[in-house]
Amino acid sequence: MMKFKKNIYSTRIILGIFIFSACNHAPKVEAKYISPAFKKDSSRFKFKISDVDNKLDPSCMMPLTAGIGDTAHYKNYVLGFCSAECKKEFFLSPEANLKLAQLKKK
């Protein structure tokens, strides 16, 4: 009977160590940028689709009906972007990206 109690005691210790070590080693989750256009409350955007000359974000091809986070003036166009990061990416190759913007007819 004494040996049985020692086995239960040692099993509880091993199980406790396993559970404790599993809880302390949760996977690390990196913080990711979430574009304002993907957030549910789009009423805080200060730009409307009627304010810009394009229908799609020229960098990521996201429809601007989801929300416009930033704008830029380029070649007599007012371009809308879903985020400041997409605006920066646009200016790395503006001519190529301008073709993807689905510009509205003036």
Give residue 78's pLDDT.
92
CA distances from residue 21 to 4, 29, 57, 60, 89 in whole angstroms, order as listed: 26, 18, 46, 42, 43
Reported as half-sphere exposure (CB side, CA atoms, 13 A), residue 81 has a value of 21
Parse the chain into domains and list their residue ranges.
1-106
For tokens 């009423």, name the residue.
Answer: 43
Give residue 66's pLDDT.
85
pLDDT class for 1, splitting at 50, 70, 90? low
Spatial contact of 69 and 37, defined as CB atoms under 8 Å apart: yes
Residue 40 scores a pLDDT above 60:
no
